[in-house]
Chains A and B, each alone.
Chain A
Amino acid sequence: MSVFNQSRSNIIRLIFAGMFLIIAAQLFHLQIISKKYKQQAQENALYRKSVYPTRGIIYDRKGRAILNNTILYDLMVTPAQVKNIDTAYFCQLVNIDTAEFRSRVLDARIKNGPFRPTIFEDLLPPDMYARLEENLWKFPGFNLQERPVRVYPFDAAAHIMGYVGEVDSAILRRSNNYYQLGDYVGRSGLEQYYEKELMGQRGTEFWIKDNKNRLVGRYQDKALDTPAIAGKNLNTYMDIELQQLAERLLSGKTGAVVCIDPKTGGVLAMASGPTYDPNSLTGPDKQSNYARLALDVSGPLLNRAIKGQYPPGSTYKPLGALIGLDEGVITPASGIDCRGFYYGCGEVRRCDEKTPGHAANLRLAIAHSCNSFFYNAFRLEVDDPVFHSPRIGLMKWKEYVNAFGLGHRLGVDLPSEDGGNIPDTTAYDKDYHRSWNSCTMVTIGIGQDKMQETPLQIANAMCIVANKGFYYTPHFVKNIEASAEDDTLLSRFHEKHTAVSHISEEDYETVQSGMQGVTEIGTGQIARIPGINMCAKTGTAENKTVVDGKVLKLRTHSIFACFAPRENPRIAVAVIIENGGYGRDAAAPIASLLVEKYLNDTIATDRLHIEDEMTNKNTMPGYLVRRQYKTDSVRAADWARQSGDSTRWIKYQIPSFRYMMLDTSYNSKSPIYLSLHKAPLYKSALAERLARIRAQAAAQQQTIDSSRPNHTPDTSGAPPKPQPASRPRPVDTAIKKSPPRAPVKEDSIHKDSTR
């Protein structure tokens, strides 16, 4: 039998060999031909970890960090390790309820699996961090992880510094996938403009992870890792104290302040009101804070210094005078007989100054801001017989004005700057069907009509007048640390723009003396600083807005432009206070204080009451209440339509609620009104200064007292009679000058602190 079936052993051998051949073929396919398994194995086990460098620090001119980095903490959870904890106590510490706790742990489990730490609560507030750190040992599975966060130590320059935020899809696309989802990039201000320098270079680490998504070790002993390179620091021209003062003076007002060093074009301060606390966009509540700011109709996120476009009003007049002088249509001796009205164009135009002889020559006309004179000067410039046609005249005028840096972007190192508007013939052709003459746009002569400038441009124009014909593009960054000297990014800021240098020095001198007259004999005397020759020009611009379809003529914008000192200009300032009234009402004192602060490094005690007065001034227009109410109610209605939950919306239907909300009277209870008119957070500068001086005096007294017993030990018990005489003089004068004001201010401090 066995012999009979002998051949079958070969068949069995064949079967064995055949099956192994099939296996060998499949192995060949898996291991040699197919590449996808190698890739999948990498996806399985390789984890690319990005290492973020610290962002660069931004310093002011004295080396103080305006924008720095700090460490906040994220609370991390590893769901699998969360066992036997006192959930109620934990929730109490983190301020959540147990349902929220469970859903967050579940979210973490879904997101990264149960074995990998996931963020439970990001960017803990300091008090919560302190509470948690003490008790964390009671909660296995939870730990705190450091996270670098931007911090603004001076709470200032929000618009300039900008903020960082997560990348969106547009940035991802633009960056050619250099950024990854979840990365932070500068979203505005210097953070955005100098993103490449500030960010540094991201590093990569390769880790091996296991099947439970835990990182277990480094891949190939760090052979493929690249280190992170820290971002470069920026040194700016900014003076943070000046900036703080500017922001303080803008509180409760809409408007902008720009201070430039005419010699370099470096921006010393740039503020926009209303502003916001830059630190509110870095901490734990940044999302909700941002939403609140974005929905605020007063526009706290808007940098009005480069985005606000205003008619320059009378601040244009020095430029108009320069153009007239250069074209030869007026001379320094030119005068006009103005009695408060201009009759030149058929209709009567009012002029604020009525005294006869206030425009007897160019200097006086500038000093008193005579409208008639500059209507006339503008008409002479446009109708100059040399040009044969007002069309050519207007275009020639435009050429001049453009050369003064108006009507186009200056190119400051901030994103999204606006260029203002200088009208040309096309604009009037369109509006007046080509039939216009110099009378049609005669108000351009006083900086109205279609003319619009940004505060930055006004300040820059002041620089040109101060420099007598040239300017540097205004910019913030002086140099970039650890970067080549002729950095291409900054080279354009070192370029001298000399487009108007053909205007003769005498012409500039004439205009400057007119401007000096403004603070000495003219409209801006309030801005005068003892010991400093300041050239300035007030401005008052009419403006309108549309609320609920009706054109509303609003209170005029208060504008002030100046530079000082005249002999050696070190600072040029432009201030615009929306609805602030005349130029001298709001803008002039503010500009004056800024100049004094910068040039003298401090404000004289006898002028501090102006600072307090300006700080407490509120010029928020009433129509904002109506506009905010409308925005809020529309939003509530949208929410009701989308979610079907009308609880928020229903209250807007109640007439009494509507009446209460829209009330803008003095004792209004409308929360919108109250938030617009809330008292500024600042303490009285005068009261602080006085307190400091008193403390100094007391300390001095003590040293005198302690030194006296050595000489006359008998009189130690008696009240020291010569004490008033030993006080420093300035205090004496200050107290004499404003005796009733000081205690009132101190009262207001107490109110502020209790609020």
Chain B
Amino acid sequence: MNQRNPAISKGVDWSLVWIWFILCSIGITSIFAASWHEGDNILQGFISLKTDYSRQLLFFIIAGIVGTFILLTDSKFFTATANLGYAFGIFLLLLVFPFHSRVKGTESIIRFGSAFQLQPADLCKLFVNLALAKYLSRVETNFTRPRSQLIATVIALVPAMLSIMQKETGLALVYFSFFLVMFREGLPPSVLIIGFSFAVLVVATLLMDPNTLALVLTGIALLAIYVLRRVVKRNRAVLFLIVGIWFVCVGVQRFVVPFVFDHVFQPYQVKRIYDAIGKDYVPKDQAAEAALESAEQKTGAKKKDNNYNVKQSKIAIGSGGLIGKGLLKGTQTRYDFVPEQKTDFIFCTIGEGFGFTGSIIFLGIYVLLLMRIVSIAERQRSVFSRAYAYGVASVFFFHIIINVCMTIGLAPVIGIPLPFVSYGGTSLLTFSIMIFILVRLDADRQMVLR
């Protein structure tokens, strides 16, 4: 179909490819800085495939090759296989249950042999992104209708549910980023506002004394009635609405949150949330305490607790100062004070080595990436490409924000990687494929894909 396009480079947005290349290079350098020890042979280290940075380099090359293949592919291929891919992704997620291997206490990884392992929950966001874009771009879909919105939500959240069942809450949360796509495509803003308010309410519940919070909520409700007293006089329904909202809020605060924390979440997850907001978690009963201990034994044989991780991470980043200590000079990251620093806490290496200046430049590259993707999305003619682009931007955004906030103590410790930088083959490949599909779709932006 594409015989009229002689060169694959036609229409390709090279800025994205360059950003991808730069970020991957920063990633490999950071992993190198975090794991290289004095006296190691650098060249041998890069060739041997025994070190983490050499493996990351290998995955980077593989990602480049895969990217080239994607650029050679017809963009219609992606619309055509979107639903199939989604089914495949769900299949992989289900496959985890019988074939999972226990790594770091999570049950979400399938191992092939000793070297290669796959985390479907990570990979699946690519398929969800494609499937969601496909659904939104269907001619029959009228996204103003609640039914369509519901279906889109289901498409996005089924893998999230499966991830939660595999005890990968962090990866599950990523799927909520697709609400940004839906918002762009017409989801009422009230959904986002309600969601945000709900999150605020939950955090407030954890932070404040229940009775005080109930009083505050009542106060807000009474204030709202007083301010809207003329409206209320004209329309009784508004009064009922306010009372209803108040009732729901108090209910959530009084019953739902405690219930969810005690019965739905794992004690270690609750602890992480408490750690993030800076409160001590006291297990409710002995069973919860025992579960917490066993989880800590499984996951934290080497890490003392998440508080320790965050503290060390903050020390590492904070000690970087304005310009940092320089590459390979950071004492905190060089000598393993920060746990998990090649994967989830890779940002520490940059923060300590290059300081505030380096961190801002690094984050600036991400901002450039996201803004570029959004502007690319807006120039698409087809809804599929645009929805897909927004999906990529949302997923990236979510990963970056949660990961960086986690390292600087603004978010709970959720084990999700920093795109292109964190060590990990699956995540690097997934993110690279996502970006190259976007580049491919963008190259064909004149076409209308369905």
Residue contact B143 to A1, C-beta cutoff 8 Å: yes
| A44 and B331 in contact, given A8-B184, A23-B410 (Cβ under 8 angstroms) | yes
| A5 and B336 in contact, given A16-B397, A37-B315 (Cβ under 8 angstroms) | no
| A20 and B336 in contact, given A12-B183, A31-B322 (Cβ under 8 angstroms) | no
| A31 and B363 in contact, given A9-B377, A45-B335, A217-B38 (Cβ under 8 angstroms) | no
By CB atoms of chain A within 10 A, which of B38, B143, B401 has the most? B401
Q: Is A209 an interface residue (CB 8 A)?
A: yes
Residue contact A31 to B359, C-beta cutoff 8 Å: yes
Residue contact A26 to B408, C-beta cutoff 8 Å: yes
Interface hits, B368-405 → A, CB 8 Å: 370-371, 374, 377-378, 383, 386, 390, 393, 397, 401, 404-405
User: Which of B359, B386, B393 has a CB less than 8 Å from the CB of A2?
Assistant: B386
Residue of B nearest to A6 (CB): B378
Complex Cα distance A12/B377, Å?
A: 12
Chain B residues whose CB sits within 8 angstroms of the CB of A2 once the complex forms: 383, 386
Chain A residues whose CB sits within 8 angstroms of the CB of B317 once the complex forms: 27, 30-31, 37
Residue of B nearest to A37 (CB): B318
Size bin of chain A's contact surface: 35 or more
Interface string of B44-73 (1 = CB under 8 A from A): 000000000000000000000000000000
Query: In the assembled complex, how far is the CB of residue A46 from the closest CB belonging to chain B, in whole angstroms?
Result: 8
User: Which of A5, A26, A28, A40 has a CB less than 8 Å from the CB of B315?
Assistant: A40
Complex Cα distance A465/B1, Å?
A: 129
Chain A residues whose CB sits within 8 angstroms of the CB of B312 once the complex forms: 44
Interface string of B291-317 (1 = CB under 8 A from A): 000000000000000000000101111
Chain A residues whose CB sits within 8 angstroms of the CB of B129 once the complex forms: none
Q: Is A13 an interface residue (CB 8 A)?
A: yes
Q: Is the interface of A mostly helix, strand, loop or mixed?
A: helix
Residue contact B314 to A30, C-beta cutoff 8 Å: yes
Residue contact B315 to A27, C-beta cutoff 8 Å: no
Chain B residues whose CB sits within 8 angstroms of the CB of A6 once the complex forms: 378
Chain B residues whose CB sits within 8 angstroms of the CB of A13 once the complex forms: 371, 374
Residue contact B356 to A45, C-beta cutoff 8 Å: no
Residue contact B335 to A9, C-beta cutoff 8 Å: no
Chain B residue total in the interface (Cβ 8 A): 47
Residue of A nearest to B324 (CB): A31
Complex Cα distance A471/B129, Å?
A: 104
Residue contact B356 to A28, C-beta cutoff 8 Å: yes
Interface string of A2-38 (1 = CB under 8 A from B): 1011101101110111011011101110111010111
| A37 and B319 in contact, given A9-B378, A16-B367 (Cβ under 8 angstroms) | yes
Residue contact B335 to A31, C-beta cutoff 8 Å: no
Residue of A nearest to B360 (CB): A24
User: Which of A31, A36, A38 has a CB less than 8 Å from the CB of B351?
Assistant: A31
Interface string of B310-353 (1 = CB under 8 A from A): 00101111111110000000011001110000000000000100
Residue of A nearest to B337 (CB): A211
Q: Is B242 an interface residue (CB 8 A)?
A: no
Query: In the assembled complex, how far is the CB of residue B43 from the closest CB belonging to chain A, in whole angstroms?
Result: 22
Residue contact A31 to B401, C-beta cutoff 8 Å: no
Complex Cα distance A36/B315, Å?
A: 8
Chain A residues whose CB sits within 8 angstroms of the CB of B159 once the complex forms: none
Chain A residues whose CB sits within 8 angstroms of the CB of B252 once the complex forms: none
Query: In the assembled complex, how far is the CB of residue B259 from the closest CB belonging to chain A, in whole angstroms?
Result: 30
Residue contact A27 to B351, C-beta cutoff 8 Å: yes
User: Which of B186, B315, B331 has a CB less than 8 Å from the CB of A1?
Assistant: B186
Q: Is B19 an interface residue (CB 8 A)?
A: no
Q: Is B185 an interface residue (CB 8 A)?
A: yes
Q: Is B180 an interface residue (CB 8 A)?
A: yes
Complex Cα distance A26/B406, Å?
A: 11
Chain B residues whose CB sits within 8 angstroms of the CB of A210 once the complex forms: 335-337
Complex Cα distance A19/B396, Å?
A: 13
Residue contact B355 to A31, C-beta cutoff 8 Å: yes
Residue contact A5 to B186, C-beta cutoff 8 Å: yes
Q: Is A386 an interface residue (CB 8 A)?
A: no
Complex Cα distance A40/B370, Å?
A: 35
Residue of B nearest to A20 (CB): B367
Interface hits, A33-54 → B, CB 8 Å: 34, 36-38, 40-42, 44-46
Interface hits, A194-215 → B, CB 8 Å: 208-212
Residue contact A12 to B180, C-beta cutoff 8 Å: yes
Q: Is A654 an interface residue (CB 8 A)?
A: no
Query: In the assembled complex, how far is the CB of residue A531 from the closest CB belonging to chain B, in whole angstroms?
Result: 76
Residue contact A30 to B386, C-beta cutoff 8 Å: no
Q: Is A216 an interface residue (CB 8 A)?
A: yes
User: Which of B38, B315, B363, B386 has a CB less than 8 Å from the CB of A23?
Assistant: B363
Chain B residues whose CB sits within 8 angstroms of the CB of A36 once the complex forms: 318
Residue of A nearest to B185 (CB): A5
Complex Cα distance A6/B184, Å?
A: 8
Residue contact B321 to A32, C-beta cutoff 8 Å: yes
Interface string of A153-170 (1 = CB under 8 A from B): 000000000000000000
Query: In the assembled complex, how far is the CB of residue A38 from the closest CB belonging to chain B, in whole angstroms?
Result: 5
Chain A residues whose CB sits within 8 angstroms of the CB of B410 once the complex forms: 22-23, 26
| A31 and B367 in contact, given A9-B378, A23-B410 (Cβ under 8 angstroms) | no
| A5 and B319 in contact, given A24-B360, A27-B359, A30-B408 (Cβ under 8 angstroms) | no
Complex Cα distance A156/B356, Å?
A: 66
Query: In the assembled complex, how far is the CB of residue B51 from the closest CB belonging to chain A, in whole angstroms?
Result: 18
Complex Cα distance A208/B321, Å?
A: 19
Interface string of B405-427 (1 = CB under 8 A from A): 10011100000000000000000
Complex Cα distance A31/B401, Å?
A: 18
Residue contact A38 to B331, C-beta cutoff 8 Å: no
Complex Cα distance A32/B366, Å?
A: 22
User: Which of A5, A24, A41, A44 has a CB less than 8 Å from the CB of B184?
Assistant: A5
| A23 and B374 in contact, given A41-B319, A211-B336 (Cβ under 8 angstroms) | no
Complex Cα distance A682/B109, Å?
A: 81
Residue contact A216 to B183, C-beta cutoff 8 Å: no
User: Which of B337, B360, B386 has a CB less than 8 Å from the CB of A27?
Assistant: B360
Interface string of B16-56 (1 = CB under 8 A from A): 00000000000000000000001000000000000000000
Complex Cα distance A19/B366, Å?
A: 12
Residue contact A37 to B397, C-beta cutoff 8 Å: no
Complex Cα distance A723/B312, Å?
A: 91
Residue contact A31 to B337, C-beta cutoff 8 Å: no
User: Which of B144, B337, B370, B405 has a CB less than 8 Å from the CB of A44?
Assistant: B337
User: Which of A12, A40, A217 has a CB less than 8 Å from the CB of B374?
Assistant: A12
Chain B residues whose CB sits within 8 angstroms of the CB of A216 once the complex forms: 38, 335
Residue contact A20 to B363, C-beta cutoff 8 Å: yes
Chain B residues whose CB sits within 8 angstroms of the CB of A26 once the complex forms: 405, 408-410
Query: In the assembled complex, how far is the CB of residue B180 from the closest CB belonging to chain A, in whole angstroms?
Result: 6
Residue contact A38 to B336, C-beta cutoff 8 Å: no
Residue contact A23 to B401, C-beta cutoff 8 Å: yes
Chain A residues whose CB sits within 8 angstroms of the CB of B314 once the complex forms: 30, 37
Interface hits, A395-454 → B, CB 8 Å: none
Chain B residues whose CB sits within 8 angstroms of the CB of A41 once the complex forms: 315-316, 318-319, 331-332
Complex Cα distance A30/B409, Å?
A: 10
Chain B residues whose CB sits within 8 angstroms of the CB of A37 once the complex forms: 314-315, 317-319
Complex Cα distance A184/B347, Å?
A: 46
Query: In the assembled complex, how far is the CB of residue B209 from the closest CB belonging to chain A, in whole angstroms?
Result: 27
Residue of A nearest to B339 (CB): A211
Give the 6 A-B residue pairs with the shortest CB-CB distance, closest first.
A37-B318, A41-B319, A210-B335, A45-B331, A31-B356, A30-B318
Given A6-B378, A40-B318, A208-B331: 10 more A-B contacts, CB < 8 Å = A1-B383, A2-B386, A9-B374, A30-B318, A31-B356, A37-B315, A37-B317, A38-B318, A45-B331, A210-B335
28 contacts between A and B (CB under 8 A): A1-B143, A1-B185, A1-B186, A1-B383, A4-B186, A5-B184, A6-B378, A8-B183, A9-B378, A12-B180, A17-B367, A19-B401, A22-B410, A23-B401, A24-B360, A26-B408, A26-B410, A27-B317, A27-B351, A30-B317, A36-B318, A37-B318, A37-B319, A41-B315, A41-B318, A41-B332, A208-B335, A210-B337
Interface residues, chain A, with chain B CB atoms under 8 Å away: 1-2, 4-6, 8-9, 11-13, 15-17, 19-20, 22-24, 26-28, 30-32, 34, 36-38, 40-42, 44-46, 208-212, 216-217
